[in-house]
A and B are shown apart, each in its own frame.
Chain A
Amino acid sequence: MQDISYNKRFEYNWDVPFKVTLGESYFRFLDGLKNKKILGNICPKCNGLHVPARPFCDKCLVEITKWYETSGIVTIESFSVTYVKFLGLPDPPHITGIVRAENAVTSFLHQIGGIPYDEPKELDEKTKIGMKLKPVWAEKRIGDIQDILYFTPVDA
């Protein structure tokens, strides 16, 4: 048996910076956000619309080069209301959604906001799968997914 009275706790930290230069597909998608456009691209083999745009199609493993500008309206496919504070996430309650643009074969993750509530718990009921959302744009856009602050109901 271990004699735990000798146990000592070691605390340590990693703080490593990383840098990468993204290629053309991600560039065009992120550059589109600067101009308040949500761009996708279409696989030449399966005709699947990819939003966000990707360099290649996972299913067919072919390069995607055909561009498509979506309306910017997305549909909630799934969501989760968060009631506790997580490092790097907004103050609770906040809603993380899996949203899909038009008839895209891919969906993506973003924040959902602008749904009114009195008690946070109401958000579970008021957020609905299939709900149509539109982007709320940041004033200063730099070509980052956060150029969209969050998505909000179309009729809000």
Chain B
Amino acid sequence: MKNKVAIVSCGIIKYEGQNELGMWNDEATFKVSKMALDNVGAEKDDLDFVVISTMDGLDGITISNGLLAPAAGAYNKSSVRIETTGVHCIFSAVADILSGNSNLVMVASSDTLEMDFGYVTNFNQDVYFRGPVGFNASQSYGMLAMDYLKKHNIDEKDYARIANKNYLAGAVNPYAHINKKYSTEEIMASPYVNWPLRSLEIGKISNGAVACLIASEEKAKELTDNPVWISGIGLTSSQYLGSWKELSDMKAIKKACKKASDMAGIKDLKKEIDLMEITAPFAPFELIAMESLGFCEEGKAVDMLNNGDTSIGGTLPVNLSGGGLCTNAPNSGGLFRVVQAVKQLNNELDGVNTENMEKALVHDSDMFIGAVGGVSHGVLMLEKGE
């Protein structure tokens, strides 16, 4: 990128189960936004622009930004609400900074409500074709999991191994919702929800809140000694009614990743990226995404998993946060993963050693509403630096 943009500060609270937070969205949003400002000694008046990520169906009120934007500091400021996830919000923040409009942008998101997620993700579908057969997010995960299983002739136990790897990471992450080290055997013993996916291979809905401050180069240097630079960002939408090949081959991830890599000047992802946070609300999506992002050949991600490459201490740790199985927050999950990657690059997390890690890739997507068609993927490249 010609001009530089950085993430200069984060605010986050520990994630919990549905309705276990004891706060409404506005209060949770306020807490993390204030935390992000306080961490770098900034004030609300320093903000130029506020971006929040929420969806009405998850907030229980329509046009929920009326309540939530001021909680992130938007009173008397320009602000937008984006329905698709964290990287999409950061895209908007980066655009406003690069246009010269803003120097400091707040991006915030929260989940505090309990609702019937299966039902909410059913009314994310059209009412002609998919809605009437009860199609929802969890079923779309089952279809992709089946597709990958049959295509690459792998073992259902491999899915349990990915889940186990994520639970081990989540157990040492102070911000993750699920902190229990489920063993591969416990995961295999959990009941099928959408064959071939078992209950412990699908993320339970999490509540929490997260915010980060995005700054121009000048502002970043003024506010912090350890900015994390945004070196590349790419977004791509998929088809809604496509062929199964189009719906399952994750072209959108590939394209978003290409855009982000080109912008960041990354030539060899595998060599240059030190760690990754991938939006994977169901276990095997981690494998699908790694292959689509180009970290290995199709069907080979399972080898990286079984070699321990992607575990804590591995050569390419994936989802050190515990991923979507440990923290599956529909509104704020994307931003949660961005903040986790920032904390990992700054080696701020006690449970994992990420010293000398310089470059991170964050994949984000709104596939929590259904992963088969009509999905938008985002890829964000982050770099530690002066």
Residues of chain A whose beta carbon lies under 8 Å from any beta carbon of chain B: 10, 12, 14, 16-23, 25-26, 55-56, 58-63
Partner of A16, one of B26, B30, B120, B131: B120
Report how far A20 CA is from B20 CA in the complex, Å: 9
Q: Which of B22, B27, B127 has the most CB of A within 10 A?
A: B27
B71 touches A56 (CB 8 A): yes
8 A Cβ contacts from B106-161 to A = 112-116, 119-120, 123, 127-128, 131
A12 touches B127 (CB 8 A): yes
With A60-B44, A61-B44, A63-B34 known as contacts, the answer to whether A18 contacts B113 (CB < 8 A) is yes
Report how far A109 CA is from B34 CA in the complex, Å: 28
With A12-B131, A61-B73 known as contacts, the answer to whether A18 contacts B27 (CB < 8 A) is no
Closest beta carbon of chain B to A73's beta carbon, Å: 27
Closest beta carbon of chain B to A62's beta carbon, Å: 7
B interface, over-half SS: loop
Contacts of A61 in B (CB 8 A): 30, 33-34, 37, 43-44, 73, 75
A21 touches B115 (CB 8 A): no
- Which chain A residue has the least Cβ–Cβ distance from B59? A18
- Which chain A residue has the least Cβ–Cβ distance from B60? A18
A interface, over-half SS: strand
Contacts of A16 in B (CB 8 A): 57, 60, 115-116, 119-120, 123
Contacts of A12 in B (CB 8 A): 127, 131
Does B70 reach chain A (CB closer than 8 Å)? yes
Does B21 reach chain A (CB closer than 8 Å)? yes
Report how far A16 CA is from B30 CA in the complex, Å: 26
Contacts of B44 in A (CB 8 A): 60-61
Partner of B27, one of A10, A14, A17, A56: A56
Contacts of B43 in A (CB 8 A): 61
B34 touches A55 (CB 8 A): no
8 A Cβ contacts from B212-264 to A = none
Partner of A10, one of B70, B71, B128: B128
Contacts of B192 in A (CB 8 A): none
Partner of B114, one of A14, A19, A23, A59: A19
